Amino acid sequence: MQMDERKRKILRAIVQDYIATAEPIGSRTIARKFDLGVSPATIRNEMADLEDLGYIEQPHTSAGRIPSDAGYRYFVDCLMDPQVLNDEEKEIIERESTKRIQQIQEVISHTSKLLSELTNLTSIVLGPHKAKSAFGKMHFLPYQPGQVIMVIVKENGVVENHIVDVGENITAEELQKVAGVFNQKMRGYSLDHVKRSLLHEIYSELSRQRHLIDNTLDMLSTILDDSEEEDRVYLGGTLNILNQPEFKDLSKVKTLFKVFEENEPLKKLLHPNQEGLNVTIGGENTLKEFQDCSVISANYKVNGITIGAVGVLGPTRMDYAKAIAIVDFMTRSLTEVLTRRRR
């Protein structure tokens, strides 16, 4: 049995109507609300085929049908019309992000609030986090006069970024030299294992940049500190879950809220190691607590280096086109704002 054009139109109608109403839909309602040019009897036969294919299912308490996880996946991959944010929504994202550019962590924290407000869903934002790891590689990215973004790539792949004061007289060539020396001397070391002789070599080779070396080592002592692990996961709009009819069952909500307190599951939901925009629907989530939910996520970068991820979480009955458009624009806007040097 194949998905012909008529079945596609009927599945699109079922998904769109259920997203809008949260109510199962029957063949007569589809015939009345959507101009498909076929009778309710024909629609009913096609719905039976769609159910056999696994794209729709029947709730126990209703004669109507709702999309299954597979139906949502087919809709997102094959039927959904891409949505473009309007100028007002774009302006809100760009204005709010730029307004808070003075501190990267403040930008990231505010992003969670902004995402939840624009989507009416729960937002999850993953910023740089600490982890037990050795130094891998260092980059300096231009930020604004007298400051640079120091990006540290640890050997376990974790990326951290911090704003460092360098003074307005230091040149790009000097920054490149500092990064080169650190990359050569410290690769594979945690700060606790850096010998005094190695630090002496660094100071000797970079005697003219002693102030920058001191600031860099202070920052590295924090970044490479393996005495504790600090995960930076920001949530926004957690109470939005309560507005969804799927979560009227308080026991289900309590389970979700309990997981919201645990950082590791939230980080896994965002797929921070995957490129591009990710849509995970229902049972595709490996955590059973989230198998009634869908997650849309994407990474944001500075000069091509991934430094975090943002996403939204909601019921499988979400407005995918709208949420995808917002997450996509938000990550592109964050990437541009954090990469662009403010003058």
| pLDDT value for 266 | 85
Instruction: Look up the CATH number of domain 135-223.
Output: 3.30.390
Res. 280 pLDDT band, cuts 50 70 90: very high
Q: What is the pTM of this model?
A: 0.66
pLDDT band per the 50, 70, 90 thresholds, residue 130: very low
pLDDT given for residue 99 in this prediction: 59
Q: Where are the domains of the chain?
A: 5-79, 87-129+232-339, 135-223
- 87-129+232-339 has CATH 3.30.450.40 classification: yes
- For the purposes of burial, counting CB atoms within 10 Å of the CB of 118, is it exposed (0-12), middle (13-18) or buried (19 or more)? buried
Asked whether the beta carbons of 150 and 166 are under 8 A apart, the reply is no
- Taking the domain 5-79, which CATH number applies? 1.10.10.10
Average pLDDT over residues 300-310: 77
Encode pLDDT of 151-166 as tens digits: 777 664 556 677 777 7
319's tokens: 């407005």
Comparing C-alpha atoms, which of 295, 250, 298, 290 is closest to residue 272?
298
Cβ-based neighbour number of residue 143 at 10 Å: 22
Asked if residue 343 lies in contact with residue 103, where contact means CB atoms within 8 angstroms, the answer is no
If pLDDT is split at 50, 70 and 90, which confidence band does 38 have? very high
In tens, the pLDDT along 226-278 reads: 444 445 788 888 888 888 888 888 777 888 888 887 778 888 888 877 888 99
**Contact at 8 Å (CB) between 270 and 341?**
no
Backbone angles phi, psi at 320, to 5 degrees: -60, -45
**98: number of Cβ within 10 Å:** 14
Cα–Cα nearest to 125, from 114, 141, 140, 136: 114
Q: What is the mean pLDDT of residues 146-154?
A: 77
What tokens were used for 239?
């109470």
Q: Would you state the torsion angle of the CA atoms of residues 12, 18, 19, 23, taken in this order, to the nearest 10 degrees?
A: 170
DSSP β-ladder status, 305-315 and 293-302: antiparallel
Q: What is the mean pLDDT of residues 96-100?
A: 62
